A = this chain, B = another copy of it.
Amino acid sequence: MSATLRDPAETERLVEALLFAAAGPLSLEDIQRRLPEGADAGRAIEAVRTRYAGRGVELETVAGRYRLRTAPDLAWLMTEEREEPRRLSKAALETLAIIAYHQPVTRADIEQVRGVSLNRGTLDLLLAMGFVRLRGRRRSPGRPVTYGTTDLFLEQFSLANLGDLPGAAEMKAAGLLDMGVPAGFEVPDPTRADDGDLLSMDDGDDAPEFAQDFVGGEEP
């Protein structure tokens, strides 16, 4: 085995792997120390430098230490890509969960479950991302708008339909309902909610005249 390891081509492979996986630049000593006895680190480093010259990834020497980095002329390709992963805030995820299980829900319903007032931006974000939609107005004083989830929501969570949302039994099975839950804790079945109980969006009290414009087709 050691014969193979003194093989320059093999040593080059090792140096390549070390440089790639290192959390920062490595010195000649760092590399030599980690190579098997008898391997020529210096020569291997130069071999790696030659191999990568002109490629998309190059060997760079900084303050006497070595590292692999993307070629400087490709910086344009990289800078554009500094995008944050779309991560939902805790508040947004919690709001989404309540809408999913309790839909159709009003803003007040959500606030009641969460115990804090709902930041306007949270709901807007969920609407803008396409996970939440308006579902109609509730037949109750003030005719509040209700919210529900969209098909995109189902897609995101790989659900065939709302009936596939995990219920209380699964929450229990997943160990989430061990403590602090009152007797009679129930998870509503979102499929039971029927839009038939809701008024159409244009029926709101707070925009009565304006709404008429949109009903157009139904008017004689």
Residues of A within 8 A of B (CB): 12-18, 20-23, 34, 55-57, 68, 70-71, 74, 77-81, 107, 120-121, 123-124, 127, 133-137, 143, 145, 154-155, 158-164, 166, 170, 173-175, 191, 202, 212-220
Contacts and interface: CB of A to CB of B under 8 A. Distances in A.
A213 B164 CA distance: 13
Contact of A34 (B81, B133, B143): B81
A136 B164 CA distance: 5
Contacts of A21: 70, 78, 81
B214 A160 contact: yes
Given A21-B78, A81-B34, A137-B164, A123 B14 contact: no
A214 B159 contact: yes
Nearest to A148: B158
A43 to B, nearest CB: 15
B214 A17 contact: no
A122 B107 CA distance: 36
Contacts of A12: 56
A218 B174 contact: no
A135 B154 CA distance: 12
A170 B137 CA distance: 11
Contact of A158 (B55, B145, B215): B215
Given A71-B17, A136-B160, A174 B55 contact: no
Contacts of A34: 77, 79-81
Contacts of A20: 56-57, 68, 70
Nearest to A121: B175
A123 B160 contact: no
A59 to B, nearest CB: 12
Contacts of A163: 137, 143, 220
B56 A16 contact: yes
Most B CB contacts (10 A, CB to CB) among A17, A77, A134 go to: A17
Contacts of A74: 13-14, 17
Contacts of A162: 220
A63 to B, nearest CB: 14
